[in-house]
A = this chain, B = another copy of it.
Amino acid sequence: MKTICKRNENYSQWYQDVIASADLAEHSVVRGCMIIKPYGYAIWERIVSVLDSMLKNKKIKNAYFPIFIPQSFLEKEKQHIEGFSPELAVVTHGGGKKLEEPLIIRPTSETIIYESFSKWIQSYRDLPFVINQWANVVRWEMRPRLFLRTTEFLWQEGHTAHTSLNEAEDYSLMILNEVYAKFAEEYLAMPVYKGQKSDGEKFAGALKTFCIEALMQDGKSLQAGTSHNLSDNFSKSFNVTFLDKDEKRKNVFQTSWGVSTRLIGGLIMIHSDDKGLVLPPKIAPIQVVIIPIIKTGEKKIISKAQSIAKQLTEFSVEVDLREDLRPGQKFYEWEKKGVPVRIEIGPKDLEKGVVILVRRDTGKKEECLINQLPKRVDKLLRDIQLNIFTIALKHREESNKIADSWKEFEELLKQGGYVFSYFCGEKKCEAEIKNKTKAVSRFLPLDIEEEEGDHYCIHCGKKTFYNKRWAFALSY
């Protein structure tokens, strides 16, 4: 069986080992593309199920648009094509013939969707117009990493149109706050900062990109979701207009926002340990595994295991009755798969009317009376959900640093965690910072207070008009 490298020895290898040991995914023969295996896909199904409900609660409906985008569409928004052109996959032949115009496999669907918006939206009565799509997208990837960076990935992309820039801004922030950050923290147990991207890091074609970012255990930051205020950039290129109450035809203001299978990469990296995957109970495809401790197939213990499973139907439970594995092997396997709670049922315990509960996060064992199991398991799952969130939060808070000189900045960045510094926000300056440190700004935090006074960029020394420090970190 595959052993798992230690986090502090080789974090990158550890990440791959955790994925392989939990049987989540693997690289395919097609370079850059991954195969999501059943257990990994079951995590994605949980993510989709919860997020889709959250979106539907916001009255957002799903639709489906073509995977193909005419090349000329992508070229209509100048920044958009500039940003995406190095990453495109191009279909030149279809049905045995060379195509008159090449088709691009969607790297994102603003262009093809807004072409439809231009037909569907007529009047202010049609606004706000809101739609979401669950789909696969393709962005050519030279340095693939499972879940984090793959040429094809799965995601949702939401697209909206509004009467005003303010409304678009509010909507993109609503998605960030009430859907993405809430989902990350409450379900993935992943503490996130909410922030705004710099001009150099924002979405190609956006006025502003808002993001959630989470700190991984190696001190690097992961962009876990983005929500863009597109202003009227695309609506001008695609002529998406509405007749306003004043009888004037105006361009709509738009937003788009997405999260992807990358979330699974973050989930793995933020919680797992040297024994393998650790999953938050609210997302775990299997929350409880029941393992009867038997040498041969003793029927009494097997039927007890099954009757206990029936007591726990409000949870997702697996009873492991495989006869070709010893209990210890099973413990080891389910640990690597990150199942939050293990229930061991042995003959001696059974005589006492108890079972043993083992938490995946802390490894702590406890006895539990069988008739108190549902209540106790429920409590344990809540505790685990909270505990792994708290650990991740504590790690982030303890890693936070402030730098006020370039020397300090360079030094602290290497230590990992977010380094908060004043910054001019300019593309050229940021490119130079990246050259020197490999780091870029991650975000300008949304939820911290402004500090009055004069502030100067940590790198170029110019006076900055931002009254908040930016967060910098190495990243994925």
Output the nearest chain B residue to A95 by Cβ-Cβ distance. Answer: B140
Of A65-73, A218-226, A403-411, the one touching chain B: A65-73
Contact (Cβ within 8 A) A92 B92: yes
Output the nearest chain B residue to A68 by Cβ-Cβ distance. Answer: B30
Output the nearest chain B residue to A93 by Cβ-Cβ distance. Answer: B90
Using an 8 Å CB-CB cutoff, how does the interface string of A223-250 with B read, 1 for contact, 0 for none? 0000000000000000000000000000
- Residues on B with C-beta less than 8 A from A82 are none
Taken together as a complex, chains A and B put the C-alpha atoms of A141 and B96 apart, in Å, by: 11
Of A31-39, A351-359, A442-450, the one touching chain B: A31-39
Contact (Cβ within 8 A) A63 B36: yes
Contact (Cβ within 8 A) B66 A103: no
Residue A154, interface by CB 8 Å: yes
**Given contact pairs A62-B41, A62-B42, A94 touches B103 in the complex (Cβ within 8 A):** no
Using an 8 Å CB-CB cutoff, how does the interface string of A23-52 with B read, 1 for contact, 0 for none? 000001110011111100110110000000
Minimum C-beta distance from A410 to chain B (A): 32
Contact (Cβ within 8 A) A69 B30: yes
Output the nearest chain B residue to A28 by Cβ-Cβ distance. Answer: B66
Taken together as a complex, chains A and B put the C-alpha atoms of A91 and B42 apart, in Å, by: 30
Q: Which of A94-118 contact B (CB under 8 A)?
A: 94-96, 102-103, 105, 112, 115-116
Output the nearest chain B residue to A115 by Cβ-Cβ distance. Answer: B29
Using an 8 Å CB-CB cutoff, how does the interface string of A73-95 with B read, 1 for contact, 0 for none? 10000000000011111111111
- Residues on B with C-beta less than 8 A from A69 are 30
Residue A387, interface by CB 8 Å: no
Minimum C-beta distance from A103 to chain B (A): 7
Residue A136, interface by CB 8 Å: yes
Identify which of B35, B96, B135 contacts A65 (C-beta below 8 A).
B35
- Residues on B with C-beta less than 8 A from A33 are 66-68
Minimum C-beta distance from A57 to chain B (A): 15
Residue A127, interface by CB 8 Å: no
Q: Which 3 A/B pairs are nearest by Cβ-Cβ distance?
A: A95-B140, A33-B66, A38-B61
What is the interface of chain A, defined by CB distance below 8 A to chain B?
A: 28-30, 33-38, 41-42, 44-45, 61-70, 73, 85-96, 102-103, 105, 112, 115-116, 125, 131, 135-136, 138, 140-142, 151-152, 154, 324
Q: A35-B65, A88-B96, A95-B142 are in contact. List 12 more A-B contacts (CB 8 A).
A: A28-B65, A28-B66, A29-B115, A41-B61, A41-B63, A67-B138, A67-B152, A68-B152, A88-B95, A89-B94, A89-B95, A91-B92
